[in-house]
Amino acid sequence: MKLALLLALALQSPPSGTPPAAGDARRILLELSPVPAPPPDPTNAVYANPAAALLGQALFYDARLSADGTVSCATCHQPGKSWTDAKPIGFGLASVSRHTMTLWNVAYNRWFFWDGRKDTLWSQALGPLEDAREHGTSRLAILHLLAEDADYARAYRQIFGALPELAQLPHEGRPVAGEPEHPQQLAWDTLDVETQEAVTRAFVNVGKAIAAFERLLVSRDAPFDRYVSALRSDDAAGSAAYDARARRGAELFVGKARCVFCHDGPSFTDLEFHDNRVPVGELGGDPGRKLGVKRLKLDPLNSRSVYADDGGETGKRKITQLVVDSHGGKSFKTPTLRNIARTAPYMHEGQFATLEDVVHFYDTLENATPEIGSERLIQPLGLSAEERAELLAFLESLTDESLPPELLAPPPAASLGR
């Protein structure tokens, strides 16, 4: 969104002020829909390769990619729960420390996780696989599985070429930062550097296939999208078909309630990080983006690494200029609001059980953390009961879970690599 427009909006609608003129609201609403095609990913040569997406889909649903055969990506990102798990905090082999994020429209993101510690979708996918609390497996175990499963082996070969020679290699092993005596690290240390590099490259390919699948998880046909389409073509009957409360809620969203300052664009996120002053959760002490930036810069699998298919070009630009937030607050990634009515509970620790609670929070700032630094966007709104209901009706109108049903389950094994 144009900064000048945002400023004009801010001046027109201080928290207690008047909503923006209809013309401004209309202009901003037109920027929130339609959802374009996901952007290309120059770091992933197979981002739009259908065979890779099919392999990725199979891997996404396969619990054999875990230490005890019980955890797949879909354990926490369940298709029937809008790609979440409905729990405050995710649980795989053990409890993790944050709320499971939805995968809707995930391919539009620039940074991943609540703290942005990953900067590509493929590199993100590699995190949970080797996290002891999630899948708890290792890159060597995964490659052995790929080699031993005829369907996987065929698909992998067709897409990426030969797997590394595995016969002489241990069945487990991965780098474990800071734990030289960890059994996984000791097993990893038995490989020479060249073999480690080849194994990591094949592991990265697993992430790239999963990313190609995740790119298909796009929500773009919600009642709100049909409304904006009608608005764009001055179709009065089409506009009138949109719930009147939701329409007023949309105007609040881009006006008096100021949500669009951060929840901007067709995914309803500016793709960046903010301190929205949400009360600290029970786990507490989450440093958010501050630590995320440090971890991203040190990550051997980040977008400026040799594993990026553009030779690290995009990553060099993206990461080198990155600075830790200067305002001192704890910031988290602005989440998408698409299908938000289906992904309770909310916030990075699942602090709020319902959307009503979220709207109540932004309205009153009850139990908010103190305002730190210069981000003054979060101020009590003082909405009426009717306005709160309108905002909720608008959020509910962002619901569209339609996807080809064949994406909601593993593909037939025989279809892989054909």
Residues in contact with ligand HEC by CB under 6 A are 60, 71, 73, 75-77, 90-92, 96, 98, 100-101, 103, 106, 109, 112-115, 124-125, 128-129, 134-135, 210, 257-259, 261-263, 274, 276, 278, 332, 334-335, 337, 340, 343, 346-348, 358-359, 362, 377-378, 391
Give 212 or 262: the residue with its C-beta nearer to ligand HEC: 262
Alpha-carbon span 290 to 329, nearest angstrom = 9
Closest of 108, 92, 65, 98 to residue 266, by C-alpha: 108
Alpha-carbon span 58 to 52, nearest angstrom = 10
Q: Least CB distance from residue 392 to ligand HEC, whole Å?
A: 9
Closest of 333, 332, 334, 354 to residue 343, by C-alpha: 354
Give 32 or 106: the residue with its C-beta nearer to ligand HEC: 106
Alpha-carbon span 349 to 288, nearest angstrom = 11
Q: Least CB distance from residue 380 to ligand HEC, whole Å?
A: 11
Alpha-carbon span 273 to 209, nearest angstrom = 27
Scan for tokens 């060249």, then name that residue.
Answer: 194
Q: Least CB distance from residue 388 to ligand HEC, whole Å?
A: 10
Give 138 or 334: the residue with its C-beta nearer to ligand HEC: 334
Contact by Cβ (8 Å): 149, 58? no
Q: Least CB distance from residue 216 to ligand HEC, whole Å?
A: 13
Give 168 or 376: the residue with its C-beta nearer to ligand HEC: 376
Alpha-carbon span 6 to 4, nearest angstrom = 5
Per the rule left: phi > 0, alpha: psi between -120 and 50, beta: everything else, 371 is beta
Q: Least CB distance from residue 163 to ligand HEC, whole Å?
A: 19
Give 92 or 312: the residue with its C-beta nearer to ligand HEC: 92
Q: Least CB distance from residue 362 to ligand HEC, whole Å?
A: 4
Alpha-carbon span 27 to 269, nearest angstrom = 17
Give 73 or 146: the residue with its C-beta nearer to ligand HEC: 73
Q: Least CB distance from residue 234 to ligand HEC, whole Å?
A: 28
Contact by Cβ (8 Å): 226, 238? yes
DSSP-derived letter for residue 235 is -
Alpha-carbon span 81 to 345, nearest angstrom = 11
Residue 56 φ then ψ, to 5° = -60, -40
Q: Least CB distance from residue 310 to ligand HEC, whole Å?
A: 20
Helix (H) or strand (E) holding 127: helix 121-130
**Dihedral angle at the C-alpha atoms of 203, 205, 207, 211, nearest 10 degrees?**
180
Give 96 or 153: the residue with its C-beta nearer to ligand HEC: 96
Give 259 or 416: the residue with its C-beta nearer to ligand HEC: 259
Give 186 or 408: the residue with its C-beta nearer to ligand HEC: 408
DSSP-derived letter for residue 402 is -
Q: Least CB distance from residue 194 to ligand HEC, whole Å?
A: 26
